[in-house]
């Protein structure tokens, strides 16, 4: 990752291809791994990604969404 990347600016929506994955690091911080349209891969605190490309992270969450039943199901 060279010093010119990731791009400056507050809106990354058009430059980011997708959220590749996320994890909690050893400090219990939520880290997000981005794949950019140019193929580069970078890691950022979730707070930064939430702000700069919210639609990309929402798309990631929706694609991984699982529902749990919290009480007996009845119709």
The answer to whether 42 and 35 are in contact (CB under 8 A) is no
Which of 2-10, 23-31, 37-45 is the region at the interface with a second copy (rule: CB under 8 A)? 23-31
Which structure tokens are listed for 74? Answer: 């009845």
Q: Which stretch binds a second copy (CB under 8 A): 1-9, 33-41, 53-61?
A: 53-61
Residues paired with residue 22 on neighbouring β-strands, in sequence order: 32
Among 20, 25, 37, 58, binds a second copy (CB under 8 A): 58
Instruction: State the minimum distance, in angstroms, from the CB of residue 16 to a second copy.
Output: 14
**Tokens matching residue 11:** 């809106």
């Amino acid at each position: 990752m060279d010093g010119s990347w990731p791009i400056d600016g507050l809106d990354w929506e058009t430059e980011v291809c997708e959220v590749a994955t996320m994890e909690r690091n050893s400090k219990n911080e939520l880290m997000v791994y981005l794949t950019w349209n140019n193929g580069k891969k970078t890691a950022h605190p979730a707070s930064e990604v939430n702000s700069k490309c919210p639609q990309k992270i929402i798309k990631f969450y929706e694609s991984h969404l699982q529902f749990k039943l919290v009480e007996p199901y009845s119709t």
